[in-house]
Amino acid sequence: MLETELYTWQNPPRMDCFEVEGGRCLEGSVNASGSKNASLPLMAASLLFEGVARLTPVPNLRDIDTMQLLLSELGMHLERDGDALDITTADASQTEASYDIVRRMRASISVLGPLLARRGRATVPLPGGCVFGLRPVDLHVRGMRALGATVEQENGCLVAKAPSGGLLGASMDLCSPFGSTVLGTINVMSAAVLAKGESVIHSAAQEPEVVEVARYLRACGAVLEGEGTASLRIQGVTCLKATPWELPADRIEAGTLLLAGAITRGRVRVTRCRPTELRSLAAALERTGLTPTMGEDWMEVDARQVELQNIQLETGPYPGFPTDLQAQWLALSTQMKGEGRMRERIYPERFMHVPELQRLGANLTRSGDTVQIQGDTALTAAPVLASDLRASACLVMAGLVAKGTTTVRRVYHLDRGYVALESKLQKLGAKVLRRRDVEKP
């Protein structure tokens, strides 16, 4: 039986905070955990299969708990066995996701395509806004409609129905004004694998998570090609059989730990990761004067003797610099020499961490989608509020170099996407303590 907590106003999420003592240099080696953003759509894809889908190593994260809860509500049977997760269909009649679960995690939209393809209909509440601005799902809807589904909005939900004979292969373009869509591409691809005939997704996202799901679907019997390019070609099949799958390492967690090493002028090696997926981070670090080293499954930064220089950087779709490392980079940039600039091209509003960094003394000026950085700032500890997952990581990083003890509140955001971050940082020599906070939600 799956035991996942259902948070209500009577049973709010635990309000923990981190106390971070500044001034310690990180040194050592730490493993990356399994990828959150690959796990979530891979779990949702289990709705497509016959047989037991075994995923491993599934990271122990709040977002994973939420997806487990959602899938179990949709009639899936889930069982944890160490770091493996087995998922199989128990009741295929369920097609409605509840708002109480979907509102907690936007990745819940990933069940739309698999439900529609396998069960012929899906009701998924619109996830709503998020702290870093608009996050529409119009491209998901465009893709499902292209495959012949009707998609209407009713009572805050997307209600999607496949034609009576099933989805039909089609050609479509999934480009947004901000580039391609990662979960949109995965969602439509996951529906098209069971559609009749051929589908072509133009402007497909090329992120490693899309590639991972495409490979997984192929291993389960899907016929598709072009993953990792802007054009995905899919020949529909009638049935997919689950197969065990090993999840990749979390590239954003790995990048965060490396940047934490750099901000403390330390030496940190992240093992069990895929350095090829961190090329844009390595290239950006090289421009600052730091040369990361890497092997087949590890990457290291040694910032002990290096004077880091601020640069101009912008986020972009893969292989560009990830938006999910933008906040952490801003923390680092407060400690680099000279002036720098960061432009956020994926989520122009994703700067909730800026005022919190300013409370620690950072010299940052935001104008629209761009932040100007005046580097080499002495940060001083203060209580700060985490507003989202990556912003929380950025504030913890800033705390590592601020004078005094910084309290980062609302670390439940951090627990959505980082496995025991405090333990990993402690292993590297940081003094970071998790405490139960007095704040009431």
Interacting residue ranges for ligand EPU, rule: CB under 6 A: 37, 40, 106-107, 134-140, 176, 178, 181-184, 205, 209, 323-324, 346-347, 389-390, 417
Shortest distance (Å) from residue 222 CB to ligand EPU = 20
Contact 264, 428 (CB under 8 A): no
Shortest distance (Å) from residue 27 CB to ligand EPU = 27
Number of other residues whose CB lies within 10 A of the CB of residue 173:
15
CA–CA gap between residue 138 and residue 141 (Å, rounded): 5
Shortest distance (Å) from residue 289 CB to ligand EPU = 27
Contact 267, 304 (CB under 8 A): yes
Query: Going by C-beta distance under 8 Å and a sequence separation of 6 or more, which residues neighbour residue 191?
Result: 112, 113, 114, 116, 117, 143, 144, 147, 149, 167
**Inter-CA distances, 396 with 34, 96, 173, 296, Å:** 21, 38, 39, 29
Shortest distance (Å) from residue 151 CB to ligand EPU = 12
CA–CA gap between residue 204 and residue 184 (Å, rounded): 9
Shortest distance (Å) from residue 261 CB to ligand EPU = 20
Shortest distance (Å) from residue 162 CB to ligand EPU = 19
In this complex, which beta carbon is closest to ligand EPU, that of residue 90 or of residue 134?
134
In this complex, which beta carbon is closest to ligand EPU, that of residue 302 or of residue 324?
324
In this complex, which beta carbon is closest to ligand EPU, that of residue 55 or of residue 389?
389
**What does the CA dihedral 264, 267, 273, 279 come to, rounded to 10 degrees?**
80
Tokens 């996942």 correspond to 4
In this complex, which beta carbon is closest to ligand EPU, that of residue 229 or of residue 293?
229
Residue of 17, 25, 130, 239 with catalytic role: 130
In this complex, which beta carbon is closest to ligand EPU, that of residue 39 or of residue 310?
39
Determine whether 220 is an active site residue: no
- The number of angstroms, rounded, from the C-alpha of 309 to the middle of its chain's C-alpha atoms is 28
Contact 379, 398 (CB under 8 A): yes
CA–CA gap between residue 176 and residue 153 (Å, rounded): 20
Q: What tokens were used for 362? A: 């950072």
Shortest distance (Å) from residue 1 CB to ligand EPU = 26
> Catalytic residues, which ones?
130
